[in-house]
Amino acid sequence: MKLLEIQAETILIPLKQPFTTALRSVDRIENVCVRITTDTEHTGFGGAAPTAIITGETVPSILGALKHIHDSLSGMNIEDAEIIFQKLNACMIGNHSAKAAVDMAVHDLLGKQYGLPLFRLLGGTAGPLETDMTVSMDSPEKMASDSLEKARQGFGILKIKVGKDPALDISRIMAVRKAVGPGIKLRIDANQGWKPKEAVVVINRLSKENADIELIEQPVSAKDYAGMRFVRDRVDIPVIADESVFSATDVLRLIEMQAADGINIKLMKCGGIFNALKIAALAESAGLTCMVGSMMESSLSVTAAAHLACSRSVIGAYDLDAPLFCGINPVRGGIHYRASTITIPDGHGLGISSILS
């Protein structure tokens, strides 16, 4: 099967409710939908989400990168997957989200070519997966009522966004715990918002108050591996690296510095499933846990992330709620949600039959 053309179109997706973290607040997103045409009847689908403040990528940069990638890969055989993925990594520096869209479309085509759902092709099992549900940063009262509403909708794991103000963040988290009671798992994501010493004070205070926190994601600046280690050494809640980890090389350094207990793998950071599997293998070898998450993405690219999540047992936590924030679903097929439970499609490849345009 020959790769003929990489086509791209952008789609504007209004969010059902604003999404607010320590880094940004958005009420709509723009995603790039990718189609790879071949010399067969099969078309491969993929998606990219520009998150400039995390990956440095914008819609124009992704469209430009896709043109360059097209010129590098056009005419190659899809079955030569290893060669394609190595070339995709090497054809330009950075541009991980653009590369992720192409990587998932090639994986989609491999599944179609060999007649298997992608998670099966990768050796995985069908799930289902239980995603957490994100609670945007707001006043303690609003976050408590939002959390209670989400718990009542059937979400048993909530991801609480904090990181702007350490004292207020403690109030936010305690208000949420009080509102939802003891039966709901709470994950905390500070999105780099604290200084290392602040993070230690906040996290230890939460432990002392019996807030019962499952994990804390990215407490300090992405570049501050020493700060991550500082925090990890002084708290008893697992510290998960998100913005700190883009590549397998980042994971190696993190392992060397013993700077995290686990990793949040996102296709938009690492450049696709090919690289994500290397990260998962390294993490497993070093005894780290893995979560699969996403940026603010539609179900097009989150379906690929869900296949990845089903493919390796070291991936034990799922942060794949972004499509639930989206006011429109740009694909037919793909993953299906019933409250927090994600069902993986059993169609070949990603299990997406078309992109609606």
So which residues are the catalytic ones? 161, 266
Site for Mg ion contains 132 (CB under 5 A): no
Question: Whose Cβ is closer to Mg ion: residue 175's or residue 222's?
Answer: 222
Site for Mg ion contains 242 (CB under 5 A): yes
Q: Binding to Mg ion (CB under 5 A): which residues in 161-200?
A: 189
Residue nearest to Mg ion (CB): 242
Shortest separation between residue 51's beta carbon and Mg ion, angstroms: 11
Question: Whose Cβ is closer to Mg ion: residue 146's or residue 321's?
Answer: 321
In which element (H, E) is residue 192 found? none
One residue of 169, 198, 217, 321 binding Mg ion per CB under 5 A: 217
Extract the tokens encoding 224: 């501050």
Question: Whose Cβ is closer to Mg ion: residue 108's or residue 242's?
Answer: 242
Question: Whose Cβ is closer to Mg ion: residue 146's or residue 217's?
Answer: 217
Listed ranges 78-86, 216-224, 334-342, 344-352: which one lies at the site for Mg ion (CB under 5 A): 216-224
Site for Mg ion contains 297 (CB under 5 A): no
Q: Which residues lie below 8 Å from residue 202, measured CB to CB, with a gap of 6+?
A: 166, 169, 170, 194
> Any alpha helices (H) in the chain, and if so which ranges?
52-55, 59-73, 81-90, 96-114, 118-121, 140-152, 166-180, 196-208, 225-234, 248-256, 267-270, 273-285, 299-311, 322-325
Shortest separation between residue 22's beta carbon and Mg ion, angstroms: 10
d(CA 165, CA 139): 11
DSSP string, 124-173: -----EEB-EEE----HHHHHHHHHHHHHTT--EEEEE--S-HHHHHHHH
Question: Whose Cβ is closer to Mg ion: residue 108's or residue 217's?
Answer: 217
Q: Binding to Mg ion (CB under 5 A): which residues in 38-77?
A: none
235 torsion bin: left (phi>0), alpha (psi -120 to 50), beta (else): beta
Residues of the shown chain interacting with Mg ion in the complex, contacts defined by CB under 5 A: 189, 217, 242
